[in-house]
């Protein structure tokens, strides 16, 4: 735990919080606005790209790969001096850290300007060491595929076959060997980390493209997909990962085959790969549950044939009347019992004695699912060379409103924090108001009032509030009708 006695009043609430190296921070601070006055005066005229270059993922020289793209409106920037200065400073600082840029206008919307960003290999190596990123090429536990028992569930991307012609058209991807260079996901992740730490003004807390997007100075910031995913009829397959996924995974005719998680992870990154791994595992675990459900339904039909004769005699052929539920004093009449004949037969089929056993089995199924998924999750973490995810980057709102600072006893760096009693008051108020039956909007406002330190804590607090409100909104009326009204 950090020592709260080291806290002191934050006289300048707009100081930045960065965990990058001291040398990097110092080099960024040395950028004086006077050095970029000429660049601020006017945004450089971007190069018009030809239609032939529109589908590439490289600079105009055809060699440097585009890792990230910044988009802004030329018209909006030129009429607003602040936006002009901000973008010019941000792009200048991007170049100072070693990233390479190239600007082009849009083909259809020529008012939009795209700033293409490329990370040279020395920069990738530098920031890989700085951020301690574990690369797939250095993973000793890398494994491309596993044995699949049923042949009809195999494909060339899950079980590569050397004798298959497709194998020789994309050997680097299908060989099963670890990648020899940075994967697309790793390049994007590193550039994203760099862009998130670059300043766009002389104020210490003014850094990161996320805030430029929030302030609508940048219209969009995104990495590019590989170019068109059309499958060539012959020859080697370029941009092979996306094309292999499009042809042998993202189609209906391959929906019953195992998913190529390794290629998904190398192209989209571990977050997307984890989602599809969970989805595939959940679908596989649902299969025995679905078989048991169908079996219970069949047993219900068999049970109906056994008791159906009694239903016909006691319900369908009955002349008895059922006491009415009167919606009003003007309309109230008895209904014959035989009108419930069809509903009774359906209830016998669906709510037979086998469903009791099925509900017990499903409770065990839920426990087994959670245990086996955690086991698979750990296996994927080792295979993809991942660590336990911990979100330590403070949110901009937390830094701006935190009243105190202190020296962390773990990192030795300055950090922003709220005193315990200050935090307690906000939590009490937040959890008191939560019982008022509002939902997402109130939950979001209450979470912002708590002001969690990281985005992970923010999402967790927001999810808990929405869940509690949804539960109360759903079941409190039922409890009111059952026990009070």
Whether the pLDDT of residue 256 is over 90: the answer is: no
The span from the CA of 6 to the CA of 82, in Å, is 38
Split at pLDDT 50, 70, 90, the class of 188 is very high
Segment 77-95 shows an average pLDDT of: 92
pLDDT recorded at residue 445: 83
Whether the pLDDT of residue 418 is over 90: the answer is: no
Q: Among the listed ranges 4-18, 197-211, 389-403, which one has the minimum average pLDDT value?
A: 4-18
Segment 156-160 shows an average pLDDT of: 81
pLDDT recorded at residue 51: 40
- Exposed e or buried b for every residue in 276-302, given b needs 16+ CB within 10 A? bbeeebeeebeeeeeebeeebbebbee
pLDDT recorded at residue 50: 40
Side by side, which strands form the sheet with 220-222?
A: 100-105, 112-118, 68-73, 220-222
Sign of CA dihedral 170, 171, 175, 181: negative
Nearest by Cα to 166 from 92, 230, 232: 232
Split at pLDDT 50, 70, 90, the class of 481 is low
C-beta separation of 119 from 190 below 8 A: yes
pLDDT recorded at residue 192: 93
Whether the pLDDT of residue 315 is over 90: the answer is: no
Beta-strand relationship, 68-73 and 404-407: unpaired
Q: CA angle, 97 as apex, 91 and 98 as ends, to 5°?
A: 95
Higher pLDDT, 204 or 434: 204
Percent of the chain with pLDDT over 90: 23
Residues 6+ apart with CB under 8 A from 229: 239, 242, 243, 245, 246, 247
Whether the pLDDT of residue 317 is over 90: the answer is: no
In the structure encoding, which two tokens stand for residue 274, read together?
């984890």
The span from the CA of 404 to the CA of 4, in Å, is 10
Residue-wise pLDDT for 271-310, tens only, equals: 899 999 999 999 999 999 999 999 998 998 888 888 777 7
Whether the pLDDT of residue 204 is over 60: the answer is: yes
Whether the pLDDT of residue 259 is over 80: the answer is: yes
Higher pLDDT, 407 or 255: 255
Phi-psi region of 274 (alpha: psi -120 to 50; beta: other; left: phi over 0): alpha
The span from the CA of 324 to the CA of 25, in Å, is 79
- Exposed e or buried b for every residue in 431-468, given b needs 16+ CB within 10 A? eeebeeeeeeebbeebbeebbbbeeebbeebbeebbee
The span from the CA of 343 to the CA of 347, in Å, is 6
pLDDT recorded at residue 431: 63
Best-predicted range by mean pLDDT (211-225, 231-245, 372-386): 211-225
The span from the CA of 282 to the CA of 276, in Å, is 10
The span from the CA of 437 to the CA of 432, in Å, is 12
Mean pLDDT for all residues in the chain:
78
Best-predicted range by mean pLDDT (78-82, 115-119, 311-315, 428-432): 115-119
Residues counted in the chain: 485
Would you tell me the crossing angle of helices 184-195 and 261-268 to the nearest 10 degrees?
30
Whether the pLDDT of residue 21 is over 60: the answer is: no
In the structure encoding, which two tokens stand for residue 83, read together?
């936006």
Q: What's this model's pTM, rounded to 2 decimal places?
A: 0.63
In the structure encoding, which two tokens stand for residue 275, read together?
């989602």
The span from the CA of 85 to the CA of 90, in Å, is 8
pLDDT recorded at residue 30: 38
Segment 423-429 shows an average pLDDT of: 74
The span from the CA of 231 to the CA of 244, in Å, is 8
Whether the pLDDT of residue 23 is over 70: the answer is: no
pLDDT recorded at residue 361: 93
pLDDT recorded at residue 238: 65
Distances (CA, A) of 304 to 215, 307, 318: 65, 5, 19
HSE on the CB side for 209, CA within 13 Å? 20
pLDDT recorded at residue 396: 66
pLDDT recorded at residue 417: 76
Segment 230-239 shows an average pLDDT of: 70
The span from the CA of 182 to the CA of 84, in Å, is 34
Whether the pLDDT of residue 400 is over 60: the answer is: yes
Split at pLDDT 50, 70, 90, the class of 422 is confident
Side by side, which strands form the sheet with 404-407?
A: 8-9, 404-407, 414-417
Residue-wise pLDDT for 59-76, tens only, equals: 988 889 999 999 999 999
HSE on the CB side for 212, CA within 13 Å? 31
pLDDT recorded at residue 304: 83
Split at pLDDT 50, 70, 90, the class of 207 is confident
Segment 353-361 shows an average pLDDT of: 90
pLDDT recorded at residue 29: 39
Split at pLDDT 50, 70, 90, the class of 389 is low
Segment 334-359 shows an average pLDDT of: 84
Segment 416-438 shows an average pLDDT of: 70
Percent of the chain with pLDDT over 70: 77
């Amino acid at each position: 735990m950090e020592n709260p006695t080291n806290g002191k009043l934050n006289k300048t609430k707009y100081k930045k919080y960065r965990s990058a190296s001291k040398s990097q921070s110092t080099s960024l601070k040395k950028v004086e606005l006077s050095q970029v006055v000429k660049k601020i005066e006017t945004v450089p005229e971007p190069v018009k790209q030809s239609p032939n270059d529109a589908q590439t993922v490289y600079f105009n020289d055809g060699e440097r790969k585009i890792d990230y793209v910044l988009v802004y409106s030329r018209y909006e920037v030129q009429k607003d001096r602040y936006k002009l200065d901000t973008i010019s400073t941000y792009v200048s600082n991007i170049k100072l850290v070693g990233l390479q840029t190239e600007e082009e206008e849009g083909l259809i919307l020529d008012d939009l300007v795209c700033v293409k960003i490329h990370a040279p290999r020395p920069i990738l190596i530098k920031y890989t060491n700085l951020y301690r990123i574990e690369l797939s090429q250095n993973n000793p536990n890398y494994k491309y595929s596993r044995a699949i028992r049923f042949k009809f569930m195999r494909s060339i991307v899950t079980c590569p076959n050397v004798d298959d012609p497709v194998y020789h058209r994309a050997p680097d991807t299908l060989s099963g060997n670890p990648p020899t260079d940075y994967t697309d996901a790793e390049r994007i992740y590193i550039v994203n980390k760099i862009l998130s730490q670059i300043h766009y003004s002389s104020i210490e807390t003014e850094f990161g493209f996320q805030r430029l997007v929030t302030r609508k100075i940048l219209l969009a910031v995104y990495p590019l997909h590989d170019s068109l995913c059309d499958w060539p009829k012959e020859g080697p397959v370029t941009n092979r990962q996306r094309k292999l996924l499009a042809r042998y995974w993202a189609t209906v005719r391959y929906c019953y085959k195992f998913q190529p998680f390794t290629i998904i992870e190398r192209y989209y990154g571990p977050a997307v790969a984890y989602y599809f791994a969970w989805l595939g595992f959940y679908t596989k675990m649902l299969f025995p549950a679905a078989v048991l459900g169908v079996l219970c339904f069949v047993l219900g039909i068999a049970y109906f044939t056994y008791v159906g004769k009694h239903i016909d005699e006691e319900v369908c052929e009955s002349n008895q009347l059922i006491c009415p539920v009167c919606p009003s004093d003007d309309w109230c009449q008895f209904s014959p019992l035989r009108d419930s004949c069809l509903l009774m037969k359906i209830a016998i089929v669906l709510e037979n004695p086998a469903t009791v056993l099925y509900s017990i089995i499903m409770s065990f199924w839920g426990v087994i699912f959670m245990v086996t998924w955690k086991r698979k999750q750990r296996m994927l973490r080792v295979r993809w060379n991942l660590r336990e995810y911990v979100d330590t980057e403070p949110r901009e709102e937390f830094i701006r409103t935190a009243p105190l600072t202190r020296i962390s006893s773990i990192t030795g760096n300055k950090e922003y924090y709220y005193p315990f009693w200050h935090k307690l008051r906000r939590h009490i108020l937040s959890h008191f108001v939560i019982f008022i039956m509002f939902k997402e909007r109130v939950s979001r406002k209450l979470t912002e009032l708590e002001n969690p330190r990281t985005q992970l804590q923010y999402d967790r607090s927001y999810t808990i509030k929405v869940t509690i409100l949804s539960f109360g909104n759903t079941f409190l009326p039922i409890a009111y009708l059952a026990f009070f009204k």
